[in-house]
Chain A
Amino acid sequence: MTVTRRDVLWGLGGGLAGAALTPVPWKLLDDTAIWTQRRHALPVPARGPVTLRPAACTLCPAGCALRVRCVGARPVAVVGEAAHPLGGGACAIGLTLHHLAGHPLRLAGPAVRGGGRLEGVALGAAVARVAAAVAQARTDGRSVMVLDRRPGRVVSAAWGELLAALPRGLYATPSGEGETLDVLQRALARPALLGIDLERTRTLVSFGAPVLEGWGRPGRMLAVRGRLRVVQVDAWRSPSVALADEWVAIAPGGEGPLALALASVVARERGVSLDEETRRVLGASSPRDLAPITGVRPERIESLAGALVREAPAVAVGGGDAGGGPLPADAERAVALLNVVLGSVGREGGFVARRDLPGSCVPLAPTRLADVPASSVGVLLLDGSDDGRALPWPIVERVLAKDALVVSLAPFDGAQAREASVLVPGPAPLAAWDEVLPTPDAAVASYSVAGPILKAPEGATDPVAFVQSLAAALRIEVSRGTHEERLRERVAAVHAAGRGRLVARAEGGYDDAPASDANAAWETLVAGGCWIDEAAPSADLALRPCVPTGEAVERWRYPAPGAEGLALVAFAARGTAGTTPPSPLLTKLYQESDLRQPATVAAVGALAARRLGLVDRQPVRVEGPRGVVRAELRIDPSLPPDTVALAAGPDPAALHPGAGAAAQGALPVVEAASDGTWRGTRVRVREARA
Chain B
Amino acid sequence: MTRRALLFFSAGLVFVLALGWAGFPRLLYARAEQPLRFSHKTHASDKAGLACADCHPLAEDGRFAGIPRIDNCAACHTEPQGETTDEKRLVEEYVTPAREIPWLVYSRQPENVRFPHAIHVKRAKIACERCHGAHAESDALPLHETNRITGYSRGLTKMSDCESCHAEHDHERTACLACHK
Binding site for B on A (CB under 8 A): 6-8, 10-19, 21-24, 27-28, 31-32, 34, 42-45, 50, 588
Contact of B12 among A11, A31, A45 (CB under 8 A): A11
Contact of B177 among A7, A28, A44, A588 (CB under 8 A): A588
Binding site for A on B (CB under 8 A): 4-6, 8-17, 19-21, 24-25, 28, 63, 111-112, 147, 149-150, 177, 181
| Interfacial chain B residues near A23, Cβ < 8 Å | 20-21, 24-25
Contacts A14-B10, A43-B111 given; does A31 touch B147 at CB 8 Å? yes
- The reply to whether B13 and A15 form a contact with Cβ atoms under 8 Å apart is yes
| Interfacial chain B residues near A27, Cβ < 8 Å | 24, 28
Contact of B16 among A6, A18, A42, A45 (CB under 8 A): A18
B109 shortest CB reach to chain A, Å: 11
Q: A10-B12, A16-B12 are in contact. List 17 more A-B contacts (CB 8 A).
A: A6-B5, A7-B8, A8-B8, A11-B11, A11-B12, A14-B14, A14-B15, A15-B13, A17-B13, A18-B15, A22-B20, A23-B21, A23-B25, A28-B149, A31-B147, A31-B149, A588-B177
- The reply to whether B177 and A15 form a contact with Cβ atoms under 8 Å apart is no
Q: How far is the CA of A42 from the CA of B113 in the complex (A)?
A: 12
Contact of B150 among A10, A22, A24, A31 (CB under 8 A): A31
Best-buried of A6, A11, A16, A21 by chain B (most CB within 10 Å):
A11
Q: How far is the CA of A11 from the CA of B11 in the complex (A)?
A: 6
Closest chain B residue to A31, Cβ basis: B149
Q: How far is the CA of A45 from the CA of B108 in the complex (A)?
A: 13
Contact of A11 among B9, B17, B63 (CB under 8 A): B9
| Interfacial chain A residues near B150, Cβ < 8 Å | 31, 34
Closest chain A residue to B149, Cβ basis: A31
- The reply to whether B5 and A10 form a contact with Cβ atoms under 8 Å apart is yes
Q: How far is the CA of A7 from the CA of B25 in the complex (A)?
A: 29
- The reply to whether A10 and B9 form a contact with Cβ atoms under 8 Å apart is yes
| Interfacial chain B residues near A22, Cβ < 8 Å | 16-17, 19-21, 24
- The reply to whether B12 and A13 form a contact with Cβ atoms under 8 Å apart is yes
Main secondary structure on A side of the interface with B: helix
| Interfacial chain A residues near B16, Cβ < 8 Å | 14-16, 18-19, 22
Q: How far is the CA of A12 from the CA of B149 in the complex (A)?
A: 27
Contacts A7-B4, A18-B14, A22-B17 given; does A34 touch B9 at CB 8 Å? no
| Interfacial chain A residues near B24, Cβ < 8 Å | 22-24, 27
Closest chain B residue to A1, Cβ basis: B4
Q: How far is the CA of A50 from the CA of B59 in the complex (A)?
A: 12
Contacts A23-B20, A42-B112 given; does A50 touch B9 at CB 8 Å? no
| Interfacial chain B residues near A10, Cβ < 8 Å | 4-6, 8-9, 12
| Interfacial chain A residues near B12, Cβ < 8 Å | 10-18
Main secondary structure on B side of the interface with A: helix
Q: How far is the CA of A316 from the CA of B50 in the complex (A)?
A: 62
- The reply to whether A19 and B9 form a contact with Cβ atoms under 8 Å apart is no
Closest chain B residue to A44, Cβ basis: B111
| Interfacial chain A residues near B147, Cβ < 8 Å | 31
B145 shortest CB reach to chain A, Å: 13
- The reply to whether B20 and A11 form a contact with Cβ atoms under 8 Å apart is no
| Interfacial chain A residues near B111, Cβ < 8 Å | 42-45
Q: How far is the CA of A50 from the CA of B62 in the complex (A)?
A: 13
Q: How far is the CA of A43 from the CA of B20 in the complex (A)?
A: 35
| Interfacial chain B residues near A24, Cβ < 8 Å | 20, 24
Q: How far is the CA of A59 from the CA of B128 in the complex (A)?
A: 43
Q: How far is the CA of A50 from the CA of B17 in the complex (A)?
A: 48
Q: How far is the CA of A23 from the CA of B25 in the complex (A)?
A: 9
- The reply to whether B20 and A19 form a contact with Cβ atoms under 8 Å apart is yes
Best-buried of A11, A13, A18, A45 by chain B (most CB within 10 Å):
A18
| Interfacial chain A residues near B21, Cβ < 8 Å | 22-23
| Interfacial chain B residues near A31, Cβ < 8 Å | 28, 147, 149-150
A64 shortest CB reach to chain B, Å: 19
- 6 pairs of residues in contact across A and B, judged by CB atoms under 8 Å: A10-B9, A11-B8, A13-B9, A18-B12, A23-B24, A24-B20
Q: How far is the CA of A43 from the CA of B114 in the complex (A)?
A: 14
Closest chain B residue to A35, Cβ basis: B149
Closest chain A residue to B15, Cβ basis: A15
A147 shortest CB reach to chain B, Å: 38
- The reply to whether B149 and A14 form a contact with Cβ atoms under 8 Å apart is no
Closest chain A residue to B19, Cβ basis: A22
- The reply to whether B20 and A50 form a contact with Cβ atoms under 8 Å apart is no
B103 shortest CB reach to chain A, Å: 15
Q: How far is the CA of A75 from the CA of B28 in the complex (A)?
A: 37
| Interfacial chain B residues near A7, Cβ < 8 Å | 4-5, 8
B1 shortest CB reach to chain A, Å: 8
| Interfacial chain A residues near B11, Cβ < 8 Å | 11, 14
- The reply to whether B177 and A18 form a contact with Cβ atoms under 8 Å apart is no
Q: How far is the CA of A34 from the CA of B156 in the complex (A)?
A: 15
- The reply to whether A18 and B149 form a contact with Cβ atoms under 8 Å apart is no
Q: How far is the CA of A43 from the CA of B8 in the complex (A)?
A: 51
A95 shortest CB reach to chain B, Å: 14
The 5 closest A-B pairs by CB, nearest first: A22-B20, A14-B12, A18-B16, A11-B12, A14-B13
Closest chain A residue to B177, Cβ basis: A588
Contact of B149 among A6, A17, A32 (CB under 8 A): A32
- The reply to whether B20 and A14 form a contact with Cβ atoms under 8 Å apart is no
| Interfacial chain A residues near B177, Cβ < 8 Å | 588
| Interfacial chain B residues near A8, Cβ < 8 Å | 8
| Interfacial chain A residues near B25, Cβ < 8 Å | 23
Contact of B17 among A21, A32, A45 (CB under 8 A): A21
Q: How far is the CA of A373 from the CA of B147 in the complex (A)?
A: 71
| Interfacial chain B residues near A18, Cβ < 8 Å | 12-17, 20
B22 shortest CB reach to chain A, Å: 10
A69 shortest CB reach to chain B, Å: 9
Contact of A14 among B4, B8, B28, B112 (CB under 8 A): B8
Q: How far is the CA of A491 from the CA of B9 in the complex (A)?
A: 88
Closest chain A residue to B27, Cβ basis: A24
A4 shortest CB reach to chain B, Å: 9
Closest chain A residue to B11, Cβ basis: A11
Q: How far is the CA of A223 from the CA of B5 in the complex (A)?
A: 83
| Interfacial chain A residues near B10, Cβ < 8 Å | 14
Closest chain A residue to B112, Cβ basis: A42
Closest chain A residue to B9, Cβ basis: A14
B16 shortest CB reach to chain A, Å: 4
B116 shortest CB reach to chain A, Å: 12
A157 shortest CB reach to chain B, Å: 39
Closest chain B residue to A52, Cβ basis: B61
| Interfacial chain B residues near A6, Cβ < 8 Å | 5
A193 shortest CB reach to chain B, Å: 39
| Interfacial chain B residues near A34, Cβ < 8 Å | 149-150
A227 shortest CB reach to chain B, Å: 31
A209 shortest CB reach to chain B, Å: 32
| Interfacial chain B residues near A17, Cβ < 8 Å | 9, 12-13
Q: How far is the CA of A45 from the CA of B111 in the complex (A)?
A: 7
| Interfacial chain A residues near B17, Cβ < 8 Å | 18, 21-22
Best-buried of B12, B19, B25, B150 by chain A (most CB within 10 Å):
B12
| Interfacial chain A residues near B112, Cβ < 8 Å | 42
| Interfacial chain A residues near B13, Cβ < 8 Å | 14-15, 17-18, 21
B149 shortest CB reach to chain A, Å: 4
Closest chain B residue to A76, Cβ basis: B181
Q: How far is the CA of A42 from the CA of B20 in the complex (A)?
A: 32
B69 shortest CB reach to chain A, Å: 11
B104 shortest CB reach to chain A, Å: 16
